[in-house]
Amino acid sequence: MIDLTVWNITLPVQTPAQVVATKAMPTLKNKYFDNNGQRIVFWAPVTGSHTGKSEYPRSELRETSKDGKLRNWRYNSGTNTLKGTLAVNQVPSEGRVVVAQIHAKDAPTPLLKLVYRYAKGTGNIDVEYRVKPKDKKSPVIYTVPNVPLNKTFSYSLQMDKQGKLSVLIGNSGKQVKLDPSWYGYNFYFKAGVYTLDNKGYSNEGGKVTYTKLDVSHK
């Protein structure tokens, strides 16, 4: 059971992409967000619409409060954690989908992306980390290789009040210290599928099945 009372979602329909409010989430079910109570299948075809700030489609949750207001938090507000268990079922021809993010309000690009990358017949999980908000690139700082399609894995993304960012994938991971240039930003978690491709047929895209998703702020 995934608690949907603290999320909204962006779906790859309408222009710009449709945002479904938090209060509608518990009963939401469609081909982009298939929730049966035990698991959620996220689907974002390459032909889907996108937000004004992006050129790629997504079926992606964004953190909110229970009243539906957008939830944002400072790094030093406590221990902020996102944990998920999922499997990637399909990737587009470009081979990459984002399954979780730490984004920042008013920053042009995310702090961290958890990317599933399919290449040369096998899947890999990359942690892409942007050292400073205005950096053009977010290098891969950690990779878990040999994760096949449909293989279930778990992750944890955590930032503590000292600015220590810990990423755990299965039993291994990476820690980095938040650069002071990020200190003034308000962060938020995202999870689902963000398909890093926008060319091809409507049956091409990113598909991800989540069985667990928990967010906490302590």
Give the Cα separation of 116 and 57 in Å (integer).
16
Q: Which residue, among 18, 32, 17, 44, has the nearest Cα to 200 in the 3D structure?
A: 44
Look at residue 168 in the predicted model and tell me its pLDDT: 98
- Domain boundaries in the chain? 7-217
Per-residue pLDDT reduced to its tens digit, 148-170: 999 999 999 999 999 999 999 99
Q: Which CATH class is domain 7-217?
A: mainly beta
Percent of the chain whose predicted confidence (pLDDT) is above 90: 96
Sorting pLDDT into bands at 50, 70 and 90, what band is 1?
A: confident
Sorting pLDDT into bands at 50, 70 and 90, what band is 142?
A: very high
Residue range 61-67: average pLDDT?
97
Per-residue pLDDT reduced to its tens digit, 99-125: 999 999 999 899 999 999 999 999 999
**Following CA atoms 165, 168, 174, 178 in sequence, which dihedral angle do they give, to the nearest 10 degrees?**
-10
125-152 as b/e: b if 16+ CB within 10 A: bbbbbbeebeeeebeeebebeebeeeee
Residue range 42-55: average pLDDT?
94
Q: Residue 203: left if φ>0, alpha if ψ -120 to 50, beta else—which one? A: alpha
Residue range 81-90: average pLDDT?
99
Per the prediction, the chain carries an average pLDDT of 97
Residue range 86-94: average pLDDT?
98
Query: CB–CB of 40/100 below 8 Å?
Result: no
